[in-house]
Structures are given as C-alpha cells and as structure tokens.
Amino acid sequence: MKLNERSVAHYALSDSPADHTGFLRTWGGAGMPPTPSGAGRRCWFVLKGNLLFSFESREGRAPLSLVVLEGCTVELAEAPVPEEFAFAIRFDAPGVRPHLLAADGPAAQEAWVKALSRASFGYMRLVVRELESQLREARHSLDLHRRSSWKAVSSRCKPQAPDRWSPGLENGHSLSRDCSPMGLVEEGGSRSAGRGLAEWELQGPASLLLGRGQSPVSPETSCFSTLHEWYGREIMELRRAWLQRAQENQPECKDQDRP
C-alpha cells in the first residue's frame, strides 16, 4: 500500500475528531524498534477511522508510526513485562509482525480492544448489512400490521345492502350497531339537514377526508374512532333527511283523507 506521507501527517494532526486516544506501551512495530531494556516504549496513540497513529507525546507534531486496521484481528496477549494489560494487532498476511501494545489498566485495555476491533471497513459493512436487514423486517412487520388493522376497520364499518323488511332500517339504510349514530356528539360545523340526499351522498366521509387532505383508505391518517365518527355522521344526516321528508309528506296525506 502506498501512502502520501504529507497527506497522512496532515490528517493525523487535523482537527477532525478522533475515535479513541490514550497512552499505550509498545514493543516494536513499524517505525519503533524494541527498546534494549524490554520495558517497551510509552507513546501517545490516536485512532481516526481505520488508521492508528502514534506520537512521541501528546503534543507531538510528527507521527512515529501508522497502522492501517484492515485484514487484522485484535486479541489479548501476554506482555514481556509482568502486570501489563497487553493486547496484539495480528494481520492475516504472512510475514507481517504483530503489533504488541499494553494499556495502563483493565478498563483502558478493554476500551482499546473494542475501539480497534470496530475500526475496519469490514466491520462497518457487517453493521450496515445487519441494520438494513432489521429495517426490512421492521417495514414488513409494519406493513402487515397496517393491512390487518385496516381490514378490521373496513369489516366493522362496511356498508350493508338495503333490506326493506329487515328490522332497524330507516329509509333503506341500515343503522348498524357498530356504526350507530347514537351517542355521537355532532360537531359545530356539521352540514345542515336541508341539503338533498344526493348532494350528501356525493359529499360523504370519503370526500370529507379528501377535502381535509387525508386519504380515506390510508391507515396512516385514520383510525377506527375517526372512521366511526365519519360514517356515523353520514347516517345521522340520512336519518334527518328522511325525517324531514316524512314531515313534509304529512300535510299532503291529511288533505287526501278529507271528504
């Protein structure tokens, strides 16, 4: 792999946020030969994306080494010095020396192992695929739930065919128990009973929904209580129109009965 040293150094010292930082002790690796005493070298490490930089100190201006965290695994290891919380970065390619590092404590060791294990693009691809799979399952489940809910609402408020001899019918329209207008509070802006039946049929619940910018068949914008109120309002209007016509026909019947 060929890298532009100037570009890499600029990225390492830029103000872009780091994924993880801290002091680690290292034994060898690219650009850092092992110390004669075997105690390792304490350096400041900065993790940005899948790039692990090391510096002489926290204020260092030139990276000492760079490790590209692709095609590798991070696992616990034994340090040359006792009581060191060590871990190693091992690559799959043959002939590549592992990078042996040690943290100051068990909490720092665990945090570094997790951060380094999740830094590669391979890990990110796995996460994205898993999230996409969960999203597809959630959308499928939501679609099934919407369909079942709408079927239940439609079945309860489905208009019935007029039956002249069926009980509970007024003017050929059924006042079903589920869609009964009884107990519904009429809104202040309800339509007057003087309008004709044909006009009201053209301006039923579907047209009310469309007039308000809502879909009459979309479960997203309607629930059972809303549909119950809308269909009940239509039945109430039909009943009032029937009663009004019945009252208008009563004087004519009385005139016909006179001798």
Closest alpha carbon to 100 in 87, 115, 113, 112: 87
Q: 40 and 57 share a domain? A: yes
**Exposure of 208 in the CB half-sphere (CA atoms within 13 A):** 16
Quick one: pLDDT at residue 118? Answer: 93
pLDDT of residue 190: 44
Over residues 1-54, the pLDDT tens digits come to 677 788 888 898 898 999 999 999 998 654 555 555 567 889 999 999 999 999
Mean of the per-residue pLDDT values of the chain: 74
CA angle 22, 26, 28 (to 5 degrees): 145
Residues 105 and 139 in one domain: no
Same domain? 148 vs 44? no
**Low-confidence winner among 79-83, 153-157, 188-192 (lowest mean pLDDT):** 188-192
Lowest-confidence region among 69-73, 84-88, 194-198: 194-198
Residue 231: band (very low, low, confident or very high) from pLDDT cuts 50, 70, 90: low
Within-domain flag for 229: no
Residue 81 has pLDDT above 90, yes or no: no
Q: How confident is the model at residue 78 (pLDDT cuts 50, 70, 90)?
A: confident
**End position of a domain, from candidates 98, 119, 140:** 119
- Residue 146 and residue 41 share a domain: no
Residue range 105-111: mean pLDDT, rounded: 94
- Do the Cβ atoms of 43 and 56 come closer than 8 Å? yes
Amino acid 28: pLDDT: 66
Q: Which residues on neighbouring strands pair with residue 55, listed in sequence order? A: 44
Under the banding of pLDDT at 50, 70 and 90, the label for residue 242 is confident
Task: Check residues 181 and 138 and name the one with the higher pLDDT.
Answer: 138
In the chain, the number of structural domains is 2
Quick check: is 159 in a domain? Answer: no
> Would you say 226 and 232 are in contact if contact means Cβ atoms under 8 Å apart?
no
Average the pLDDT over 98-112 and give the result.
93
What CA–CA distance (Å, rounded) separates 134 from 55?
41
The reported pLDDT for the residue numbered 113 is 96
pTM (2 d.p.): 0.52
Check pLDDT > 90 for residue 107. Answer: yes
Question: Is 85 within a domain?
Answer: yes
Has residue 136 been placed in a domain? yes
Residues of the domain holding 114: 5-119
d(CA 22, CA 55): 10
Between residues 159 and 196, the one the model is more confident about: 159
Q: Is 61 a domain residue? A: yes
Based on the domain organization, do 29 and 129 belong to the same domain? no
Provide the greatest CA pair distance for the chain: 134
Q: What is the mean pLDDT of residues 215-234?
A: 60
Query: What integer is the mean pLDDT of 115-131?
Result: 92
User: Looking at residue 19, which CATH number applies to its domain?
Assistant: 2.30.29.30
